[in-house]
């Protein structure tokens, strides 16, 4: 109910009376008063004036489910949002909810992770309030071999959300890092639970560097943050809503598949194409020119002998990036 009250107040041009709120939500005046009190405790500045009603003056600065929800225009993604102060890994937390039947579209966001996971068994540095650590549960009706589109579509959505909301010129380093210039801003890790021929659910984890003012020496040449790139502190609730809106557009509206348009858009934003890349295939290191992303989302690389090698996962080093 709290998110519905926030939505009503957010969309109202003027004060709304407690009576109006209780009638439109079908709850008692007492329940409205109680919900307003809890919202104030969460940081919503709600003014109340006798004979006029309530007016929303400000939404909280810190991440808060109700504040994200009032900026959402999705049908599936973010219908349930859980914000945690601290967690081991939002991916692990959501996988455990997924195995207990949590609904598709559930989102978990944490202010801190104590065991944040990156791709290829790496650690994702997740200090309190430095970044946004977010995971999304989906239940696509696909076979395990068909879910490979989830990662590039999520990358595309992230790139769009950043460029639109932060006014940056971010690009995608295949398969799913988001970079600004030569430095990484976002990492994406998709995991799944499947039976032999059916996906039970997928969990896509997104780590965004937001408030970092510096990085440890070992990664400072290849990592950046929104604050470092823009010099501004963003409204994280509005930003998360923008991300979820774009994820719905790219994932749900494409039915979790790469369409001709999404491949075209992905290629347009992909910084890997046109660069020398090094990758490992069949136990061997290979080098060539990245020339295309095919309709399955694989990277096509032209080797020095003129043949095309396709890469579908793993680590790719891109000359001039990392
Ligand atoms: C990468 O290596 O680039 C992927 C990083 C993914 C990090 C995110 S943060 C939210 C979610 N929870 C995790 O433990 N990992 C992902």
Is pLDDT of 192 > 90? Answer: yes
- The predicted model gives 115-140 an average pLDDT of 94
User: What pLDDT score does 302 carry?
Assistant: 97
Is pLDDT of 314 > 80? Answer: no
What is the rounded distance in angstroms from the CA atom of residue 257 to the CA atom of residue 152? 10
Ligand 1 centroid, distance to 5 Cα (angstroms): 33
* Of 83, 92, 111, 117, best ligand 1 pocket probe by most atoms within 8 Å of the beta carbon: 117
Is pLDDT of 140 > 80? Answer: yes
Report the mean per-residue pLDDT for the chain.
Answer: 94
Stated pTM of the model: 0.93
Q: Which atom of ligand 1 is nearest to the CA of 176?
A: 3
Contacts of residue 261, Cβ cutoff 8 Å, sequence gap at least 6: none
Q: Tell whether ligand 1 has an atom less than 6 A from the beta carbon of residue 184.
A: no
The band of 120, judged by pLDDT with boundaries at 50, 70 and 90, is confident
What is the rounded distance in angstroms from the CA atom of residue 30 to the CA atom of residue 286? 68
Q: Which residue has a Cα nearest atom 7 of ligand 1?
A: 207
Q: What is the pLDDT of residues 26-69, one digit of tens each?
A: 999 999 999 999 999 999 999 999 999 999 999 998 899 999 99
Determine how many CB atoms are found less than 10 A away from the CB of residue 185: 28
Q: Tell whether ligand 1 has an atom less than 6 A from the beta carbon of residue 124.
A: yes
């Amino acid at each position: 109910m709290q998110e519905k009250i926030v939505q009503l107040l957010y969309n109202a041009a003027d004060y709304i009376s407690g009576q109006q709120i209780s009638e439109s939500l079908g709850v008692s005046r007492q329940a409205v008063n109680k919900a307003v009190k809890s919202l104030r405790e969460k940081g919503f500045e709600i003014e109340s004036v006798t004979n006029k009603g309530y007016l929303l003056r400000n939404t909280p600065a810190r991440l808060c489910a109700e504040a994200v929800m009032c900026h959402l225009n999705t049908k599936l993604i973010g219908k349930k949002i859980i914000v945690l102060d601290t967690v081991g890994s939002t991916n692990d937390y959501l996988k455990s909810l997924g195995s207990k039947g949590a609904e598709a579209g559930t989102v978990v966001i944490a202010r801190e992770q104590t065991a944040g996971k990156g791709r290829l068994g790496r650690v994702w540095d997740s200090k309190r309030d430095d970044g946004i650590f977010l995971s999304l549960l989906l239940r696509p009706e696909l076979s395990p071999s068909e879910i490979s589109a989830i990662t590039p579509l999520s990358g595309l959505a992230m790139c769009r959300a950043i460029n639109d909301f932060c006014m940056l010129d971010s690009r995608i380093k295949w398969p799913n890092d988001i970079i600004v210039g030569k430095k990484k801003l976002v990492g994406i890790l998709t995991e799944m639970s499947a039976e032999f021929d059916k996906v039970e659910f997928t969990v896509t984890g997104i780590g965004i560097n937001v408030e970092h003012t510096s990085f440890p020496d070992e990664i400072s040449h290849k990592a950046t943050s929104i604050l470092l790139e823009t010099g501004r502190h963003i409204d994280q609730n509005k930003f998360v809503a923008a991300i979820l809106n774009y994820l719905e557009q790219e994932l749900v509206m494409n039915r979790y598949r790469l369409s001709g348009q999404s491949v075209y858009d992905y290629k347009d934003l992909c910084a890997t194409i046109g660069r020398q890349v090094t990758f490992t295939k069949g136990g061997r290191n290979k080098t060539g020119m990245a020339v295309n992303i095919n309709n399955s989302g694989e990277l096509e690389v032209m080797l020095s002998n003129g043949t095309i090698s396709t890469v579908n996962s793993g680590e790719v080093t891109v000359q001039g990036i990392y």
